[in-house]
């Protein structure tokens, strides 16, 4: 269900599954982190990880539990306690399709 003022194209589905991310930081060094998904839509997902990632960073992700592997762009990153909640928008034609 979409809330008033919600600009998302698709509704979200709560899904918790392990996820691995790889990206290059500002200095060009490879970075890796394991986290978990919070919710997902056909065009993006929210995840929780232990360190921040700059907005507009492209990440390569793998989430076997949701049958997802590909790239995404960081749209938001907000600290929540000791973790960071990151909003990802899928790129390169990647889409999540719920199992029917």
Instruction: For residue 7, tell me if it sits in a domain.
Output: no
7 pLDDT exceeds 60?
no
Q: What is the mean pLDDT of the chain?
A: 89
Pair of tokens at residue 3: 């809330």
Pair of tokens at residue 53: 């990632």
| 7 within 8 A of 1, measured Cβ to Cβ | no
| 74 within 8 A of 84, measured Cβ to Cβ | no
Give the Cβ contact number of residue 90 at 10 Å: 20
Which positions ≥6 away from 99 have C-beta within 8 Å? none
Instruction: For residue 43, tell me if it sits in a domain.
Output: yes
Q: Which residue has the higher pLDDT, 2 or 97?
A: 97
Q: pLDDT category, 3, cuts 50, 70, 90?
A: very low
Q: pLDDT category, 99, cuts 50, 70, 90?
A: confident
- Residue 23's CATH number: 2.40.10.220
Pair of tokens at residue 4: 């008033």
Full-model pTM: 0.87
List pLDDT tens digits, range 31-63: 999 999 999 999 999 999 999 999 999 999 999
**CA distance linking residue 30 with residue 98, whole number of Å:** 31
- Which residues span the domain enclosing 26? 13-90
15 pLDDT exceeds 80?
yes
Which positions ≥6 away from 29 have C-beta within 8 Å? none
Total tally of structural domains belonging to the chain: 1
Instruction: For residue 4, tell me if it sits in a domain.
Output: no
**CA distance linking residue 11 with residue 56, whole number of Å:** 22
């Amino acid at each position: 269900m979409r809330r008033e003022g919600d600009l998302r194209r698709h509704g979200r589905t709560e899904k918790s599954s392990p996820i691995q991310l790889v990206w290059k930081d500002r200095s060009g060094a490879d970075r890796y982190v394991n986290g978990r998904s919070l919710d997902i839509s056909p065009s993006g997902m929210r995840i929780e990880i232990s360190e921040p990632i700059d907005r507009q960073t492209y990440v390569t992700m793998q989430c076997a539990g949701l049958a997802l592997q590909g790239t995404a762009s960081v749209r938001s990153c907000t600290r929540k306690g000791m973790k960071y909640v990151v909003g990802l928008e899928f790129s390169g034609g990647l889409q999540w399709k719920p199992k029917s």
